[in-house]
Structure 1
Amino acid sequence: MQIQVTDSIDTVPAADWNRLNPDGNPFLRHEFLAALEHHGCVGETFGWLAHHLLAFDDEHRLVGAVPLYFKTNSYGEFVFDWAWADASERAGIPWYPKAVVAIPYTPATGRRLLVDPQLVGHEAVRQALIEAAGELVREQGLSSLHWLFPDTADTASLEDAGFLLRLGCQYHWTQPGYRDFDDFLDSFSAHKRKKLRRERRRVVEAGIEHRIVHGHEAGDADWRTMHHFYQSTFDKKWGTATLNLPFFRELGATMGEQVVLVFAECDGRPVAGALCFRSPTALYGRHWGCEADYHSLHFETCYYQGIDYCIREGLTLFEPGAQGEHKVSRGFLPTPTWSAHWVAEPRLRDAIADFLSREQRAMRDYIHTLHEEHLPYKAGRLPPQPSHVRPID
């Protein structure tokens, strides 16, 4: 087996890379990562420098890969390490550049060790990729290596390899097989069910209708409108919109069947939109924007339309994005998320390990409290816990 490093995913044929992603995760597709590179959404401007790891067998057949980037900032990661960076700099230890294994700007759980599932010796390739990532970081003199939002199996492998684990929390929706949205609401307590129905009714009373378009069906006007909504959210929050219109257009052309655009329209005019992605089993909410403030429109466009879509399409998981404790009362389960960290400087590593131990205890208590006291479901009607992430005790 040979390990190589590439600064462009285009050096790998799309079919070879996608063979390592049998679950159809949209963010791990060659087309998604390539579009980021083609249109400058990653690179020097935004501090995401591709150094993808590739594992080849003796016949030069791709058998494993890791989407790895050198970072000159912590923007777009959603596992916040600014306090660590500050402490490191104050100690005279440069924190940047560092390395991350992640999907840029995407806090969605998934595999980070991509290995041919038909390969004999599957675990050996996983271990070789972990070791190769560590060797690359040490050779380049980087401060640290971070694996962001790995799935259950990858989290276990990284812990076995000695990485420090960090526990976070998102809010994910699962279903046991609801017939329709009303069937989903029947699992709620009466008070919570009434509140949610009132929110949906207010959107209808405002004269707003929703239209769902898949990426390969969207016209250029649809893409311009969605990008406008995406850009407007960052403008309002003084953020940096790193995804440009050509990136959106390329996704529509190359993987449009996995892109879901949700438009809210009033008198035929778009007033809000949400951009989602899907796999054969899951929906992922990513970006949203609006023209005006309508009561409950965010909840309807970003959450209830997505739940409706999942029920119709038979999808069992909906990840609506990071943060948002208000999602719990609307049927989303507090769900652990993980990241794994290696830090070169021993003193700093020890301090971070101590912090993570204390933070993890607090996060476990927080998740348990939400489950025990704040879920809207009736007794005996709790949906299945998400299985794609490592559970907590």
Structure 2
Amino acid sequence: MPTTRILDSLAQIPAEQWDALHDGRNPFIAHAFLAGMERHGCLREQWGWTPRHLTLWEGDDLVAAAPTYLKDNSHGEFVFDHAWAHAYARYGQNYFPKLLCAVPYSPVTGPRLLARDDASRRRLVDAMVATARDAGLSSAHVNFHAETEDAAFGPEWLRRADLQYHWHNRDGWRDFDAFLAAMDHKHRKNIRQERARVARAGVTFRVVHGDEATGADLEGIHALYLQTFAEYGNHPALTLGFVRHLAAAMPRSLVLFLADQQGETIAGALCLRGGDTLYGRYWGAFRQVPGLHFETCYYQGIEYCLREGLTAFEPGAQGVHKIARGFLPTPVRSRHWIADPAFASALRNWCEEESAEIDRHATALARHSPYRTA
């Protein structure tokens, strides 16, 4: 049987061994991405992120692994469990710390149980429960895992559901005009008007990959990221060092959409490119122009996907307004193991009610699709 090791840094695992456990199509699970967050100051214990990576070994051979963290809050997770923490507190129990398997600050679906076969994935899940039990933790959580990993979880793992809004090239569109032609008149007209406003303002766009970005481009996108977080009063986690690291270590995965006006970069979006999917992560603007957010974060990304042959675009969490721009409701999932049997029973009912409500909401949203019906 494999030996379980809990490691407090991804640097302790050779990159080639970690990356041999996944197909390389999701950039967020790459060793370069996750280890880069640790190395460049994006994960801080005072913000609740302490690496505790779960690994299974046969001798010196890594056979399974999961990006796992000890959390003493729910900061940067995007699967909201504040009500669960409050319920624990009311009964005099500690919800934190908890064990979390996830990609920090990234509500992006992808592999979480990295292994060569289903049996190793199940062993990884069993090891996660054993680790939480041995440490006396309240719970273990796996956020935004792939649908193909469902079978690894036993019935003791609660399932939660949510919706995001994703674009798919469902009809093999070759360009943006073909994409618009699939929409009804109202939505097609609205998108054209939004794009025209940005063009009339004299805004032009540059699409820059990591290996094409200048130092000024990287500093600019990070400054735009900081601007957005300052506007909302939040703490920015990504450092300029990490952005520079992405450009060097994942040069063709990093994609920047930079909006220029009168020779100055006034807005931008930071995205990552996977095997067949573009992932929108962060955006910022120094100057307000009507329609600029939609153009920078949505339309430029769709054009990129069509030009590059990518079939999907995930622009980030939440946002019903995305439906009108061609992004349709898409289910996402997470799993949760609760140590206390009484709480687990109560939360199971809560999760089932939540899932039913999500299903009803998805059905209602489907009626607002901007695409023409046959």
| TMscore range, shorter length | over 0.9
Residue 136 of structure 1 aligns with which residue?
131
Q: Which structure 1 residue ranges, 5 or more long, are not aligned?
A: 117-121, 381-393
Q: Of 208, 220, 224, which aligns to 2:215? A: 220
Taking structure 1 as the reference length, what is the TM-score of the superposition? Answer: 0.93
Query: Contact 2:24 / 2:30 at 8 angstroms: preserved in 1?
Result: no
Shift of 1:27: 0.4
Residue 75 of structure 1 aligns with which residue?
75
C-alpha separation in 2, matches of 1:336 and 1:174: 14
Query: Contact 1:334 / 1:370 at 8 angstroms: preserved in 2?
Result: yes
Stretch deviating more after TM superposition (132-141 or 2-11): 2-11
Taking structure 2 as the reference length, what is the TM-score of the superposition? Answer: 0.97
- SS at the partner of 1:45? helix
Query: Contact 1:43 / 1:50 at 8 angstroms: preserved in 2?
Result: no
Residue 35 of structure 1 aligns to which amino acid in structure 2? Answer: G
Shift of 1:24: 2.4
Shift of 1:363: 0.6
Q: Does 1:375 align with 2:366?
A: no
C-alpha separation in 2, matches of 1:57 and 1:173: 41
Residues 208-244 of structure 1, C-alpha deviations (whole Å, 9 max, x = no match): 0011100121111111100101011111001110111
Shift of 1:156: 3.4
Shift of 1:153: 1.3
C-alpha separation in 2, matches of 1:124 and 1:3: 15
C-alpha separation in 2, matches of 1:243 and 1:269: 23
Residue 27 of structure 1 aligns to which amino acid in structure 2? Answer: F
- SS at the partner of 1:339? strand
Written as runs of structure 1 = structure 2, the 5 A alignment for 1:1-393 is 1-58=2-59, 60-116=60-116, 122-158=117-153, 160-175=154-169, 176-371=171-366, 373-380=367-374
- SS at the partner of 2:131? helix
C-alpha separation in 2, matches of 1:162 and 1:156: 12
Q: Which runs of 4+ in 1 moved over 3 A?
A: none
Cα root mean square deviation, aligned: 1.1
C-alpha separation in 2, matches of 1:333 and 1:157: 28
Shift of 1:157: 2.3
Aligned identity (percent) is 45
C-alpha separation in 1, matches of 2:129 and 2:89: 22
C-alpha separation in 1, matches of 2:125 and 2:210: 35
C-alpha separation in 2, matches of 1:293 and 1:86: 39
Residues 45-101 of structure 1, C-alpha deviations (whole Å, 9 max, x = no match): 32111111112235x221211111010110100001111111111111111101110
C-alpha separation in 1, matches of 2:291 and 2:84: 37
Shift of 1:33: 0.5
Stretch deviating more after TM superposition (291-300 or 49-58): 49-58
C-alpha separation in 1, matches of 2:107 and 2:244: 22
Residue 106 of structure 1 aligns to which amino acid in structure 2? Answer: S
Shift of 1:302: 0.2
C-alpha separation in 1, matches of 2:62 and 2:94: 35
Aligned residues: 372
- SS at the partner of 2:371? coil
Q: Which structure 2 residue ranges, 5 or more long, are not aligned?
A: none
Shift of 1:350: 1.9
- SS at the partner of 2:259? strand
